[in-house]
Each structure stands twice: as C-alpha cells, then as structure tokens.
A and B are shown apart, each in its own frame.
Chain A
Amino acid sequence: MRKITVAQAINEALAEEMSLNKEVFVYGEDVAKFGGCFGVTAGLYDKFPDNVFDTPISEAGIMGLASGAAYMGMKMVPELMFSDFVGVAMDYLLNQISKSRYMGGMQPEGNECCVVLRLPSGAGVTAAAQHSQCIEALLMNIPGLKIAIPSTPADYKGMLKYAIRGKDPVAFFEHKLLYGTKGEVPDEDFVIPLGLADVKREGKDVTVIATQLMVLKSLAAAEKLAKEGISVEVIDPRSLKPLDTKTIVDSVKKTGRVVLVSEAPEFGNALTEVGLQISELALGDLKAAPVRVCGPNRPIPFSPVLEKQWLVNEEDIIEGIRKVL
C-alpha cells in the first residue's frame, strides 16, 4: 500500500469529497491562494475555485457562515488556523451548532448541521502559549458536538471523509507535528466512522490509551518496553465523542492496567473522562489505579529548552507504565 503524510491524506479527503458533492466548501483564513498556514489545503483552490475560498480574519464570521449554510444542508469545512483561536469563536461551538437541532426539535428541514471544523493544534513548534495548545478538553462538555482526534494518515482521511458525509457538527483536531508523518493509506474510496477506537499495538500487560502525537510516542515507548518483556497494548480512541468504551474496556479486562497519555495539561484533561468510564464499567478488572501521563498544568513556554521540558516524551510514558505494573 502507498504511504502518504497526514497533510496529504487530509488534502485528498477534501478534494475527493468536493469532487463528489458540489456543496462541500473548504474555507478560512489563508486556506485558498496561500494553501493554508501549514500547506494542508495546497492546490485545492486551483482545482475547486468555486468551493475553496479565503476569508478575512474573522473567526466568529467564519463560524457563523458555517452554521447558517450547514443548517441549509451544505457541507461546511472551515479551518481555524490554530485551535487556540476557538476562544474567539467559542459561542458557535457552545451555543449554536451543538444546540440548534435540539432546540428546534429536529424539524426535517433546516436542522442538518454538517460543520467539520478543522483545528490545527499541538505544541513542539516553538509557537509559545497561544499557538500550541491541545484544547479538546474544552469541548468535551458540550452535548451535540462530536470530537475527532485521529493520529495516522489513514485515520485522518477516512474520518474526515466520514464527518463530511455526516449531518452532525464535528471538531476535527489535527496535530501540527503529525502533518509530516507518513503511513499507509488505501487507494480506493473509504471512510472510517467516528466512535471506533483502534488498537494500534496489541499487548497483554498494560493498556495505554493515547491521542494524537502521543499515540506515536506511546508506540515508541511500547517498543522499548517490549525489549524488557513488558507487553503494552496501545489504543487510539480516534474520537473522544462519540467514545468507543467497548474497545477500551475489552482491553482493560485483558490487561487490568491503564495508562492515559495526553499532551494537554493534566487537570481536567479529556482522558479523565475515559478513566472514569473505565472505573464505572470495569472497576473489578483493574489491578492498579489508572495513571495519567499528561502535560503540566501551566502554559506552554516559548524557549525551545523550556518547551522540550514541557512536552510529554517517551521516558515520561515509560515511567507512567512502570507505575501501574
């Protein structure tokens, strides 16, 4: 199977869905002529000049446009240049696209809402505290909003295509350091539903549940521990909402030990919800209290030295795994 990067996978997903449906629109700040700040949408404007467009710096305006057009049945795929910018467009996630269908009583016309909000996120690019965060936890407590958080090129492509074909609003997180990573992606048309976790590595001693860049780091940690005879299972939930608790619980029943790995700050981290659902659904199977390996509870520093210290690394994950063994 051919190998492509996450950025290419996203680009292909957008191009394919625009070819299939004239009412798919990809837009935002600098996404058209410039090809996106991270080059993810490069070339799409040339191929689909009616479907790809630039907007002024107006995050609220971007999200408003998405909301109204989505209610009219269009497929809106806006990009916020950095997920950190969600703050200035938060109402659309908190009170608009997540609530309109419910408040409207699901009337047959006008209550579709396919907004797939692409959110480049994550640290490790010396971008300091306002351009580096993983903010998925901020969106966890909003009924009506789905959260996709994939890690591999195939998952990015399949889940993005699935989200665009759906009728629900989705916050679609893209980790900036994953854009350049490669993986196998099928040639044919395929989708991956939200709400399906993926076992990225099978193991029997401990279950590591990790998201985005931390999936890669956890796999590297698992590889190292394998040499010591420790068998680590790595699960990528791929979407936080819906959450595939079944795959997670099946693994916990097998290993009895859980480590939750996330780049975002530990306090109130999105994976805390996963941990609690495990305790509700599989407490009797746990042989040790679950351990969290997360970012520190402080902003992300600019200086490369301090940022490196801030980031969760392989050694942190290995240390976390040893704690539950």
Chain B
Amino acid sequence: MKVSNEDLVKLYGEMWLIRMFEQRASDLFAKGVLPGFIHLGIGQEAFMAGTHYNIKPGDSVGTSHREHGLLLGLGITPNELMAELYGKVTGSNKGKGGSMHACKPKNGALGCNGILGPAQTIINGYGFAHKMRNDGNIAVTVFGDGASNRGDVHEGMNLASVMNLPVVFIIVDNGYGISMSSKESSVIADLSARAASYGMPGLTADGNDVLAVIEATGEAFKRAREGGGPSVVEFKTYRHRGHFEGDPTPYRTKEELEMWLKKDPILRLETVLLERNVIDEQQMKDIQAEQLKVIDAAQVFAEESPFPEGPEGYEDVYYFYEGSDK
C-alpha cells in the first residue's frame, strides 16, 4: 500500500502524540496524581497509528488496556482522555470508566474490556450490525498474546467465521501477558496460525514498522469490507514499560529491553522520513514541540476540571428503572 509523504508526516505526529501522552501519564502516575492503575503503550505506537490509518468513519474498533493511543486516533481528544485518567467529569466517560474503560462509541472508539476474552465475542455483535445494515463498515478488535488464550476468543473467531462477519481480530504479541512470556503461554510461534482452524486468513507482521502495519491491516480490512469475512492479523512488538506503571519487570532482562529499544518504532519511522527526504531533523523537532503543547494543554484541562458530583455516581445504571424498591 502506497503511503504518501504527507501521510508519513501525519503518522509521525500521531506516534509522537501517543508517546508523549503516555510519558505524561507515566510521570503523573509516578507523582501520585493519577488514581487507579494504568497500562502504557510506549513502544507500540506503530501498530496503533498504522491500524488507525486504515479505519474509516463508522467502523467499530475495540481496544485492549494498552491502547490510549488508538483511542486518541479514533477521536477521543487528548483533553477528554487525560481528564478521564484523572477521574474528572469532563472525561470521555464522565470519570466513570478511567484509563481502562475510556470510550467514545459514536466515533467507533468502543474502548477496552476489563475482562480478557469477551471483547472478542462482543466484536461480532458490532460486525453483525454492520453486516445487517449493509453500511460498508467493519468491526476490529485488538487484544494481546495473553488474552488470545482465553476460550471466548475461540468462540468469537468460530462464530465470526461461521457467520462470515466483517470482523478483524488483531493480536498484539508484545512479549508478555503481565509476567508470562508469550513463548510460555503458547507453543506456537505465530498466534495468527490459529486462524487456520476457523478457515480464515492469518498473517503475522512486524508491529514496530508502521508501513508493515498499514500493509497488513489494509489487506485484512479491505477483505472484511468487501464481504470476504473475518481474518486474523498479528503484530509482533514490545512494551517498553512494565505491564502497569510501577511494575519492576523482574521477568525480563535488560539486554532484551535494550534490543527492543533499538527497534523503537518512532526511530524506525524517522529513518524512513530521512531516507526519503520527507522532512529533516528540525522539522521533526517542530512536530514534537507541537505535540508537546497539546499534551501540556490536556494536563491543564484535566487539572482544572471538576470531579463528578456525588449524584453522578447513581446515574446511568439503567435507561429506565420501574421499581419501587430501594
């Protein structure tokens, strides 16, 4: 798939926005400003920006707990997302979801599912709706190597295949499910091989190469849009941070981390940009400075926003409740 120079620059900006958002979240969490726990996608920006590249308006995209970046791409603004991380009423979910459940369904940003596995059957419901309404849209679910071993994923993939739904299963193998290496949680090298059991195509690609991601998702999304049914795309990548912020990562070596830092997806895109003479180093710095301003503004917005009032906690449980019980 041909990616224009203009798009390459956009992707570069998007990947920096993701990284800076995550770095800021990391800093704020370390300072005790952000409540709860957060999982950051630093090192996985390429698969997020590359997947977003092929999403069209109206598509439904479910994410995992490490994809703030994809949510930003889908139109949750940095302000809304940061405010949600703070638990503020101006957050995307009025502070009731937090990092793990931030969503904006009208933009197709379905958010993450806190329970691993169900999202891969629920995505079929979105795919079913797109198919029955014949709207040309697709449903995409992103999940990790860890979640891929859940039984629900089997049921989801089988049903998607049997019903020929416009669904794409994106497995992100970032090396670990919390502390368990993906090499220990499955004996197969490429999790995309599982697609064969459902009679659907499976492909593994380099998740740190944004162009490879665009190529892989482009093909799978096109197939789904054209009625060709579901498929599996697996990206090999690595999270630079621990499972959650504060994870001391005793399960992996320094050498391993250093090896992956050399494969940093942003550095790789910079190499492409320089090789193709798209932009120079100064222009790169300008783009970074621009994104930093967005993140600073998001932090200010979140800090200045109010917390939800008490009654808010009792709202949104039902559309309509008919009882006289307490």
Contact = CB atoms under 8 A, between A and B. Distances in A.
Interface of A: 23, 55-56, 58, 60-61, 63-74, 76, 91-92, 95-96, 101-112, 143-144, 146, 166-168, 193-196, 239, 241-246, 277, 280
A107 B106 contact: yes
B322 A58 contact: no
Contacts of B159: 55-56, 58, 61, 64-65
A193 to B, nearest CB: 5
A245 B125 contact: no
B26 interface: no
B105 A107 contact: yes
A210 B120 CA distance: 40
Nearest to A95: B115
Contact of B323 (A69, A103, A245): A245
A68 B118 CA distance: 10
Contacts of B94: 105-106
A23 B132 contact: yes
A103 B93 contact: yes
Given A103-B93, A245-B325, A61 B125 contact: no
Contacts, number: 179
A110 B93 CA distance: 12
Interface string B60-104: 100000000000000000000000000000011111110001011
A143 B317 contact: yes
Nearest to A143: B317
B185 to A, nearest CB: 20
In this complex, the member of B97, B156, B316 whose beta carbon has the largest number of chain A beta carbons within 10 angstroms is: B316
Nearest to A98: B317
A104 B320 contact: no
B118 A95 contact: yes
Given A64-B125, A65-B128, 12 more contacts: A60-B152, A66-B125, A68-B122, A69-B129, A74-B125, A101-B319, A104-B93, A104-B96, A104-B103, A105-B93, A107-B103, A244-B325
21 contacts: A55-B159, A56-B158, A60-B152, A61-B159, A64-B121, A64-B122, A67-B121, A67-B122, A68-B126, A69-B129, A96-B122, A101-B316, A104-B96, A104-B97, A106-B94, A109-B105, A144-B317, A144-B318, A193-B322, A195-B322, A242-B322
Contacts of B132: 23, 74
Contact of B111 (A104, A144, A239): A104
Contact of B162 (A56, A72, A241): A56
Nearest 10 interchain pairs by C-beta: A68-B125, A110-B105, A64-B121, A242-B323, A195-B322, A105-B94, A61-B155, A72-B129, A106-B316, A69-B125
Interface residues of B, number: 51
Contacts of A109: 105-106
Interface string B109-123: 011011101101111
Given A103-B96, A104-B93, A92 B118 contact: yes
A58 B107 CA distance: 30
A243 B325 contact: yes
B158 A245 contact: no
A76 B128 CA distance: 11
B237 interface: no
B94 to A, nearest CB: 4
Contact of B118 (A91, A108, A239): A91
Given A58-B159, A61-B121, A68 B127 contact: yes
A63 B124 CA distance: 10
B315 A106 contact: yes
B105 A105 contact: no
Contact of A277 (B151, B317, B326): B326
